[in-house]
Homo-oligomer: A and B are copies of this chain.
Amino acid sequence: MLKLDNHLSGRHFLHIPGPSPVPSRILRAISYQTIDHRGPEFGEFGLKVLDGIKKIFKTEQPVIIYSASGTGSWEGALVNVLNTGDKVLFYETGHFANLWRALAKRIGIEVEVVGKAGQDTWRWGVDASVIEERLRKDTQHEIKAVCVVHNETSTGMTSNIAAVRKAIDDAKHPALLLVDSVSGLGSADYCHDTWGADVTVSGSQKGLMLPPGIGFNALSPKAIEASKRSTIPKAYLAWDEILESNKTGYWPTTPSTNLMYGLHEAIDMMQTEGLDTIFARHQRLAEACRRAVAAWGLENQCLDATAYSPVLTAIVVPEGMDADVLRKHALEKFNLSLGTGLGKLKGKIFRIGHLGDCNELSLMAALSGVEMSLGAMGYKPKASGVVAAQDYLK
């Protein structure tokens, strides 16, 4: 039998930037007996979930729920609104922006990359003026969509999506705005409608506090229009039949019933706590974490104070230290999981997730584990990060 959660005594402290720890309420919800997804009970349940998820995206438009990971949902966003050979502008903020771009390329999209001018683009939030400038030059409107990452999980940066929308509008460009908020949704404020996103991609295992396995595409009327003209071959990820079926609370294919039980519970929990309270909690925990980083004398991967992420903090380790050795120590000695450096940041940073079902003392435990692990690496912090965080939180 499964013995996974048994390898070390006591609680595991899962502080990677997703999957985030799943609350026991949600774990219990996904353990309800599976029901007939064609039965009368399911339709009622489906409508409730479809309605609830809109509130989390702050949208009045339909939200597609995929039985797929965030990657599948990335693909869904692209294949439904684009045609083979379309050009798409990707703004690079880190590893996940790159992965999405690579996926686009793989399915036959022509991609163009922009980033922060004259800077390490992995350390700054999206500079909307770069997008505006590029779109103004695209007088033929060859660019069909702009893809940006709301919260870049690899570098700990949250970008201003409303500013990107404004840039597109100011450039009087018809490009669709496709946003990845896989790790932002539910932890950082997100307004699909008022910010003018056309497709927002998200996943279950971050701010929604669910296990992985469910993904989302929140749509706009313009995106739905575009989907009617899209010719990339697709079936499982196609919106049309899902939108049709969803009207009565059902899905054209078998939905991931038990994860949807969890989604139902998560929405209930989030509405009970209140989205604003949730976002304020994340901001507070993130600031506490940054205070600790500063006290340690370490550098935040994000150099852009307007883009500090409420979801996670990526921390640059001192020259000569291998971030993954630190992470291994934290895991083996303190039962603490930290995020690794991705792509070119491998070994150079580690990431602390403070998202989802996280509170003050969970964060303090994580910071304490990091502080002790830094010490074990031979690093002498300027001051106690734990004390600095406490000074802020108390």
Chain B nearest CB: distance from A340 CB in Å? 7
User: For the complex, is A256 an interface residue (Cβ under 8 Å from B)?
Assistant: yes
Q: Which of B71, B269, B371 contacts A236 (CB 8 A)?
A: B71
Task: State in angstroms the CA–CA spacing of A359 and B30 once bound together.
Answer: 25
In the complex, chain B residues whose CB is within 8 Å of the CB of A246 = none
In the complex, chain B residues whose CB is within 8 Å of the CB of A19 = 34-37, 254, 257
Known contacts A10-B359, A36-B19, A236-B68; A258 and B30 CB within 8 A of each other: yes
Task: State in angstroms the CA–CA spacing of A366 and B365 once bound together.
Answer: 8
Chain B nearest CB: distance from A301 CB in Å? 18
Q: Which of B1, B30, B108, B361 contacts A268 (CB 8 A)?
A: B1
Contact A254 B386 (CB under 8 A): no
Contact A368 B361 (CB under 8 A): yes
Could you say which of A45, A75, A361, A375 has the most chain B C-beta atoms within 10 Å of its C-beta? A361
CB contact list, A1-19 vs B, under 8 A: 1-14, 16, 19
Nearest B residue to A39 by beta-carbon distance?
Answer: B337
* Number of copies of this kind of chain in the complex: 4
Chain B nearest CB: distance from A5 CB in Å? 5
In the complex, chain B residues whose CB is within 8 Å of the CB of A384 = 384, 386-387
User: For the complex, is A357 an interface residue (Cβ under 8 Å from B)?
Assistant: yes
17 additional A-B residue pairs with CB within 8 Å, beyond A14-B34, A30-B31: A4-B32, A4-B261, A9-B281, A11-B361, A12-B35, A13-B361, A24-B33, A27-B31, A35-B337, A67-B67, A67-B72, A103-B236, A203-B254, A361-B368, A376-B394, A386-B387, A387-B387
